[in-house]
Amino acid sequence: MVGDQPQSLEIADSSGATVLKIERNSGCGFELNVHHPVADVSALKSIKALVGGKSTLQNEIVGDLHKEFGSKVPDKAEELSLRDLAAAIGAFGGSLGKHTQAQLARLFGSKMPGGFSLSSARSILQSTYGLGLQRQDALLLVALTMEPPSRLSGDTEAKAWLGTVAQVYAAKEGVSYATASAGGGSSGQAGAPVISSAEMEKMQQKQHEHTRQQIQVLARYGGMDLREGTRLVEREQANSSKLQAKLDRVSAELGDELMDGVQPLFDARKARNFDSSWNWVRQEAYELIQQAIANCTSDSANISAHVDDASLQRLKN
């Protein structure tokens, strides 16, 4: 089984055009958005030489380096050869940086089927190919260079694609994958019967089929529709596929940067509800008091006017 510590790490660009190999003693790598085949990229060339004098692309690459490695990137990194730059950056820190993590998240979010996440891929790499975390990182970065042109339709295609990436990685690194039964024959008692994994799976499939047939007979007897939930899921999956296709078209038209920039920022946890009923009670009480005072003043004025008119009449008489 392949060990956890990789002989070299490979960091790839999102377009799948370049993989830069960094030797084991430095154990680090970085992305270049240059459109050269992997075999044509020499570790003796600098970033400036690879981009062919395109200053905008050169600045973008250096910016990606700073995102990935932070302060480890030396000054005038674009003038150093890739080998010297890797040595200056130093040893691999054990986990991918922000930039490569974002690229992997974009790959699995836009090209893998729903439910086939990055953690699912890592689980397959560990259980099927026996790769440790650092080997997984190296293989997944190679996977960035083999990005599918469109979203894969199901888990079967996704696993097949991951298997192709694993074979390419093994060929490039000179490693071989152990089978599940390798090394397992020496343990256990001598002369004990050995059942291959294929025979075990066949027995389990027969048992599951027998159980399924019994469940179907009981469901027909009880008047139950076992496929009701399945049909509902199929309808939801069809609707989800249509919506995902629309989102893919919008993303392809506007680009990932714009799509990420227009995401909603509302957070229900930050919502604040203000209840001012206590203040409106005081306002209404004040208005009521003012209205009562106004009414009293008006009544007093009417009484005074009536008394004055009566006095004048008496004086006239």
Residues 31-74 have pLDDT tens digits of 445 555 455 567 777 787 877 778 888 888 888 888 878 778 88
Copy the structure tokens of residue 60: 């973008």
pLDDT value at residue 160: 92
Token pair for residue 226?
Answer: 């076992």
Are 181 and 197 in contact by the 8 Å Cβ rule? The answer is: yes
Quick: pLDDT tens for 69-114: 877 888 877 778 777 887 888 766 667 888 888 888 888 988 898 8
Instruction: Give the whole-angstrom CA distance, residue 262 versus residue 252.
Output: 15
Confidence of residue 4 (pLDDT cuts 50, 70, 90): very low
Helix/strand/coil for 31: coil
**Could you tell me where the beta strands, DSSP code E, fall in the chain?**
9-12, 19-22
Write out the two tokens for 232: 């509902």
Residue with tokens 């674009």: 78
Report yes or no: 5 and 23 within 8 Å, Cβ to Cβ. no
